Amino acid sequence: MLAINLSMALIILFRVLFAREVLDMSFFPTLLLFTTIFRISLNVSSTRLILMSGDPGNVVMTFGSFVGGSDIIIGGIVFIVLVLIQFIVINKGSERVSEVTARFTLDAMPGKQMAIDADLNTGAITDAEAKQRRDKIQQESAFYGAMDGATKYVKGDATAGLIITLINLVGGTAMGVMNQGLGFAEAIQKFGILTIGDGLVSQLPSLLISLSTGILVTKNSAEEDFSGTLVKQLFGTSQVMYIVGGVMVAISVVTPLPKLVFIPLGIGLIAYGYMTQNEKKEEQIVEEVQQAETEAEEIRKPENVVSLLSVDPIELEFGYGIIPLADVNQGGDLLDRVVMIRRQIALELGTVVPIIRLRDNIQLNPNQYIIKIKGIQVTEGEILFDHYMAMNPGYVEEEITGIPTFEPSFHLPAIWITESQRERAESLGYTVVDPPSIIATHLTEVIRSHIAELLTRQDVQGLINNIKETNPVLVDELTPKLLNLGEIQKVLQNLLREGISIRDLLTIFETLADHAQTTHDTDVLTEYTRQALKRAISSKYFAANETTSVVTLDPKVEQEIMSSVKQTEQGAYLTLDPEKTREIMNSVEEEVGKLESMGKNAIIITSPIVRMYFKKMTEDYFSDLIVVSYNEVESNVELQSVGMVTA
C-alpha cells in the first residue's frame, strides 16, 4: 500500500505536467481528498505497527536507514528540511495562488460572458459554440473555487503527518524502554529511524501531490501541455542560449571556478542554441510549404455548390482601404458599431435585425463600400479614411476649405476635412463625424428602410414564442385559430414599412384577436392596429405642448378615392383615373413643399377609411411622406392645417 501510494503521487504529478488545460484535471479537488484520506490511513496503520511490535515493514525501515544512513540526526535533519519545504514554500504558495485565482476567475466571468454575447451577435460563433464556451467558463469558475478549498486538505495532511511523527518518536521510545527492555539511547535510535522512515514514506508522496497542486493552479489556460510549453519558453530562443553559454565560459576563464564544469556547460548551451535556430528555420520552411499546399488544395477542391445557394440578409462590403476600420487589432470599432445598430433597431422598432455580414472586396475602390440586401446592392458610399466629414447645419456663415462631397445617408452637401481642421470646424458650428460613424449611420438608415422585407416567418414565430411565455391564452386564441403565421407577418411588415414600432406586441396581438373574427384583410387589420397604437404614433410624429403643422385631404378627393376602390379575393386596389392621380400628386407636392419650406415634417391627415389607400397611392412618388388618420392622433395633440390636397 505504501508503494501504491508513492506510485499514485508520481502518476498525479506527471499527469498534471502533461495536462493541456486545467479542466483536463477537473476532478483534481476530489482526488486530493481521496489521496489525503488514503495517506492518513497508511500513517495510522504504520503507527500502530511501530508502537505494537517495532516492525512496520521493510519499506519504512529502508526509507529510514537509506535517507538517514542509520543516523538519527542526519535522518531527522533531512526529514525536517522536507517538511519545511512543503509547509513554507509549496503549500503556502499553492494556497495563496488558489485563493487569488478563484477570486479573479469569478470577477472575470461577466466580462467573458459579454465577450461571448458580442461574438454571437456579430455572427462570429454559433449558438452551440456560445453554449460550449459559457459551460467552460462555469466549469473553470467551479474548479478554481473547489481548488481554493482543496489546498487546505494538503496543508492539513502535512500538519497531521508531523504530529503523527512526534507521536511515533515519543511513543515508540517509551514502548521500547518499557516493553522491550531496551536502553534509552538504543530505543531512541531504533524508533527514531523507524519514525523518520514512516514520516518520509508518507511525506514524500504528500510533497509530490503538493507540487502537482502548485503546478495545476499556476498553469494558464493555454491548450498546451506544461512540459512542452516550459521547454519552448526556456530554451526556445537561440539568442538567449548564445548569451548564457558565453557568460558561463567567461566566468570559468576570469574566475578560479572549475573549468571542466563551466566550459563544457557553456559550449553545450551555445550548441543547443545553434540547433534551435536551425530547427526554427526548418519549421518556418515547412509551414510555408504546407500553407502553399493548402491553398493549392483549396483551389483544386470541387466547389461546394450548396454553400453558394445561401444569401445573407444584410451585407456590408468594403474596399481594402476601409479594412482598418473593421480590424480590431488596428483599433477599428466597426464591428462594435454593427452590434450597437442591431441593439438600436431592436429597441426602436421591436424586431431583431438579421446577422450583418462584413467582408472586404478587392474589386471595389479602396475607399468604397456597398450595402446589399438579400444579395442585391441597394446603395453605396465612399469615404476618406484619414479625413472627417463636416456638414453645415444651416446657420454657419464662415466656410471652411475641404473636398466637397455628399453625406451618403441623406445626400446632404458636406466637406471632407483633415484632422487638423476638425477643432476649428466644430468651433464654427459644423457637424463633424468620423468615417465609422458615416458608415454606421448609412447602414442604419438602409436597415430601417428595408426592415419590413427582412422580417421572415421564422422571425415572427420567434416573436410569438417570446410573448407566449407571458401571455399563452392570447397567443392560443390568435394563432392558428384566427390568423395564420403569414397573415400576422403581413400586418407586422405593414407597420414596419411605415416606421411604426412593433415592440408593443401585446397591444398588436390583442387588437388582431379582436378584429380577426370579422376580417382577414391584412391591410384593414393593419389600420385597426395603428389606431390601437395611436399613443405611440402621436409621440413619434407630434411634439407635446406644441402645435404641429399638417396638410389635410379634401373630402372630395377622399370620396373619389373611396369610389375607385375595387375589392377582389386578392385584396383591394385603386382604379383611379391616371389624370386625376397626376392632379392629386401635383397638389401633394405643392402642399408638402409648404411644410418643408417651414422646416416641418411632411405630414398629411386623412380620414381612417382613406388612409391606407392614399398611402399606397403616394408611396411611389413620396417615399418619406407621413400619412396619418384622425383616429391615430391623441386627443391632447394640437394640429394646425397649413394646406389642403385637392384635385
Instruction: Specify the number of domains making up the chain.
Output: 5
Q: pLDDT tier at 458 (50, 70, 90 boundaries)? A: very high
Closest CA to 527 of 540, 542, 537: 537
Residue after which a domain boundary falls, among 272, 297, 322: 297
89 within a domain of the structure (yes/no): yes
Q: Are residues 23 and 132 in the same domain?
A: yes
Give yes or no: residues 512 and 550 share one domain. no
pLDDT tens per residue, range 571-615: 777 888 889 999 999 999 999 998 888 888 899 999 998 999 999
304 within some domain: no
Any idea what the CATH number is for the domain that residue 611 is in?
3.40.50.12790
Range of the domain at 244: 236-297
Q: Within a domain: residue 305?
A: no
Contacts 24+ apart (CB under 8 A), 134-140: 136/23, 137/109, 137/112, 137/113, 139/23, 139/26, 140/22, 140/23, 140/105, 140/221
Same domain for 115 and 192?
yes
Residue 302, domain member (yes or no): no
Over the chain, what is the mean pLDDT?
82
Residues 318 and 288 in one domain: no
Among 212, 233, 254, residue at a domain's last position: 233
The verdict on whether omega for the bond into residue 480 sits within 30 degrees of 0, i.e. cis, is yes
Evaluate whether residue 308 is within a structural domain: no
CB distance 61 to 53 below 8 Å = no
Domain match, 42 and 150 both: yes
320 & 217 share domain:
no
pTM of this structure: 0.55
- Quote the percentage of the chain above a pLDDT of 70: 86
428 occurs within a structural domain: yes
Rounded Cα–Cα distance for residues 85 and 88 (Å): 6
Both 11 and 105 in a single domain? yes
Give a yes or no: residue 347 inside a domain: yes
Closest CA to 98 of 155, 158, 137, 37: 155
- Specify whether 224 is located in the same domain as 242: no
Instruction: Please check whether residue 307 lies inside any domain of the structure.
Output: no
Q: Could you tell me if 462 and 592 lie in one domain?
A: no
Q: Which of 516, 532, 548 is the last residue of a domain?
A: 532
Q: What is the pLDDT of residue 153?
A: 67
Looking at the structure, do residues 544 and 516 belong to the same domain, yes or no? no
CATH number for 516: 1.10.8.540
Please determine, for residue 355, whether its predicted confidence score (pLDDT) is greater than 70.
Answer: yes
Q: Are residues 268 and 204 in the same domain?
A: no
Condensed to tens digits (0 to 9), the pLDDT of residues 126-139 reads 878 888 888 877 77
Long-range pairs for 83-86: beta carbons < 8 A, 24 or more residues apart: 83/158, 83/161, 83/162, 83/199, 83/203, 85/207, 86/158, 86/203, 86/206, 86/207, 86/210
Q: Identify whether residues 119 and 41 lie together within a single domain.
A: yes
Convert the pLDDT of each residue in 157-188 to its tens digit. 667 767 777 777 777 777 776 766 677 677 77
